[in-house]
């Protein structure tokens, strides 16, 4: 069995769904289980509807609901067989009636809670999975729609729920019997608590769903189908013209995902690593491209660095307290604050009475700073970015930092971290310098390529800097 996850751009239209059907049909011999994201930007549109509702703008949220229903109806009618059109219309009516009632309730309350965010944003995957399932019938495949909320069980931490693996795997073990002879299709991202309350796994969580399902059914392979050719040596939104990484280890891919490689959700690899299931990153628009294969073992490579990842919109917090000189417990007090406000820290640099650290989740920033100022001076720097060089050879190769600093002559480095992970060298620069930074590092570390690990991409045109 294999798990095939298709992202939002892979199911964004009738034409895209037709491509997906062709990809799945060509792999029926491998008994695929299909996981889909919401169509295109549906999740963003749902959250915009919720925002209009709590602001009391009835005309706007009704208009947006109508537009969203029209979009789903228009695209789905092109790929759903004529005999199933009545069932399609009933399904759309039911879901959008439920959605409208939920939104009206939000308008009355004037408040958007994490639980209601999950309830609203779940409709994207609930709709797309039913539409794709009906479309498969149109393209000659027997299909079975599966409500992911009946199989993926989580805790009640809404908008960022954590899977309850034992309960989830127990339910997934019965999936093959329940869908014998048909292609199961389920929505990613969505789940539920033991009590049946809808939860979500966080933005990008459809990748995570695919990995959980793969681990739960004992899949031979987990395929993540997206709109790029695989993992690249640099983020194409920052620097076009990077090279495809053919094979990479779980550990390296996990570092890249955590530090901003958008092609993969950071949590995706955890279930796959535990079960030693290979993960493939593939392009639904170019299905013949081999993509990137992520494997358990380290991959020998002639290059020091495998890829450069970037995490944007970073805040640097500088915390200083001369009162803590020669006193113990300074770091403990700092990190207790971040723990209390459930805010993860990416990078840390310390001296005896000063700590600089980075965060990308600023939702509780004011509260965090207020607590820290009870025992320290605090200032913050916005519009920063983490740049992360990842490669298994970094741990064995002397002089990597020297090459980095040499390549970045004239670019100010705000913080640097090496050693916390043996696989990466990370540092902070101003976000305005990020493209210049990545281009300089790419030229330094990828002028020559190990052909066993990299596929040379088409060079990009002349760089244009803002």
Instruction: Look up the CATH number of the domain holding residue 132.
Output: 3.40.1160.10
CA dihedral 21, 73, 180, 30 (to 10 degrees): 20
* C-beta separation of 143 from 137 below 8 A: yes
User: 166-187 burial string, b = 16+ CB within 10 Å, else e?
Assistant: eebbeebeebeeebeebbbbbb
E strands, 25-99, in order: 32-36
49 within a domain of the structure (yes/no): yes
Last residue of a domain, one of 179, 209, 227: 227
Per-residue pLDDT of the chain (466 residues; tens, 9 = 90+): 999 999 999 999 999 999 999 999 999 999 999 999 999 999 999 999 999 999 999 999 999 999 999 999 999 999 998 889 999 999 999 999 999 999 999 999 999 999 999 999 999 999 999 999 999 999 999 999 999 999 999 999 999 999 999 999 999 998 878 888 899 999 999 999 999 999 999 877 999 999 999 999 999 999 999 988 999 999 888 998 899 999 999 999 988 988 877 778 778 888 999 999 999 999 999 999 999 999 988 889 999 999 999 999 999 999 998 765 556 778 888 999 999 998 999 899 887 778 999 999 898 999 999 999 998 999 999 999 999 999 998 988 889 989 999 999 889 998 988 765 678 899 999 999 999 999 999 999 999 999 999 998 755 443 333 2
CATH number of the domain enclosing 393: 3.30.2130.10
Q: Residue 111 is encoded by which pair of tokens?
A: 């408040």
Last residue of a domain, one of 204, 227, 250: 227
Which H, E and C letters describe 168-183, residue by residue? HHHHHCCHHHHCCCCE
Backbone angles phi, psi at 19, to 5 degrees: -60, -45
283 within a domain of the structure (yes/no): no
Count Cβ atoms within 10 A of the Cβ of residue 410 and give its class: 0-12 exposed, 13-18 middle, 19 or more buried: exposed
> Do 220 and 367 share a domain, yes or no?
no
Q: Residue 349 is encoded by which pair of tokens?
A: 């640099």
Last residue of a domain, one of 171, 203, 227: 227
240 within a domain of the structure (yes/no): no
Classified as helix, coil or strand, 244 is: strand
In which domain, by residue range, is 321 found?
307-455
Total domains in the chain come to: 2
148 within a domain of the structure (yes/no): yes
> Do 191 and 60 share a domain, yes or no?
yes
CA distance 239 to 234: 6
6 within a domain of the structure (yes/no): yes
Q: Residue 258 is encoded by which pair of tokens?
A: 């955590």
446 Cβ contact list (under 8 Å, min separation 6): 233, 242, 243, 303, 305, 454
Instruction: Count CB atoms within 10 A of the CB of residue 66.
Output: 12
CA distance 17 to 34: 12
The whole-model pTM stands at 0.89
Listing DSSP states for 180-218 in one string gives TTSEEEEESSEEE-TT--EEE--TTHHHHHHHHHHHHHT
319 within a domain of the structure (yes/no): yes
């Amino acid at each position: 069995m294999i798990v095939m996850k298709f992202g939002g751009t892979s199911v964004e239209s009738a034409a895209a769904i037709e491509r997906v059907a062709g990809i799945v049909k060509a792999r029926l011999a491998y008994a695929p289980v299909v996981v889909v994201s919401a169509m295109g930007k549906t999740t963003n549109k749902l959250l915009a509807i919720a925002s209009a509702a709590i602001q009391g703008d009835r005309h706007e949220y009704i208009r947006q609901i109508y537009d969203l229903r029209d979009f789903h109806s228009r695209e789905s009618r092109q790929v759903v067989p004529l005999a199933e059109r009545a069932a399609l219309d009933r399904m759309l009516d039911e879901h959008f009636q439920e959605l409208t009632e939920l939104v009206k309730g939000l308008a009355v309350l004037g408040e958007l809670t994490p639980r209601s965010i999950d309830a609203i944003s779940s409709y994207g995957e609930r709709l797309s999975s039913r539409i794709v399932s009906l479309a498969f019938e149109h393209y000659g495949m027997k299909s079975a729609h599966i409500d992911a909320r009946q199989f993926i069980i989580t805790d009640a931490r809404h908008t960022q729920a954590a899977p309850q693996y034992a309960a989830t795997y127990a339910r997934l073990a019965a999936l093959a019997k329940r869908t014998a002879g048909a292609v199961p299709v389920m929505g990613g991202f969505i789940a539920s608590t033991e009590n049946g309350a809808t939860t979500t796994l966080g933005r990008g969580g459809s990748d995570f769903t695919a990995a959980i399902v793969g681990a739960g059914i004992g899949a031979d392979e987990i395929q993540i189908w997206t709109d790029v050719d695989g993992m690249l040596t640099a983020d194409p939104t920052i620097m076009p013209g990077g090279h495809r990484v053919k094979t990479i280890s779980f550990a390296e891919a996990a570092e890249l995902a955590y530090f901003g490689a958008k092609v993969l959700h950071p949590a995706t690899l955890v279930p796959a690593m535990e079960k030693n299931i290979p993960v493939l990153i593939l392009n639904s628009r170019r299905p013949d491209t081999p993509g990137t294969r992520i494997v358990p073992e380290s991959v020998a490579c002639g290059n020091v660095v495998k890829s450069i990842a970037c995490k944007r919109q970073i805040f640097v917090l500088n915390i200083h307290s001369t009162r803590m000189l020669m006193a113990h417990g300074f770091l403990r007090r700092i990190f207790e604050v971040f723990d209390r406000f459930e805010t993860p820290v990416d990078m840390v640099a310390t001296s005896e009475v000063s700590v600089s650290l980075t965060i990308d989740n600023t939702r509780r920033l004011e509260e965090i700073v207020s607590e820290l100022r009870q025992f320290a001076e605090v200032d913050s720097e916005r519009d920063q970015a983490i740049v992360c060089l990842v490669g298994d050879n970094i741990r064995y190769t002397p002089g990597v930092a020297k090459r980095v600093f040499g390549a970045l002559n004239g670019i100010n480095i705000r913080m640097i971290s090496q050693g916390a992970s043996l696989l990466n060298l990370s540092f902070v620069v101003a976000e305005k310098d990020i493209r210049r930074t990545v281009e300089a590092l790419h030229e330094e570390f990828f002028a020559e390529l190990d052909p066993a690990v990299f596929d040379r991409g088409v060079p990009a045109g002349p760089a244009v800097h803002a």
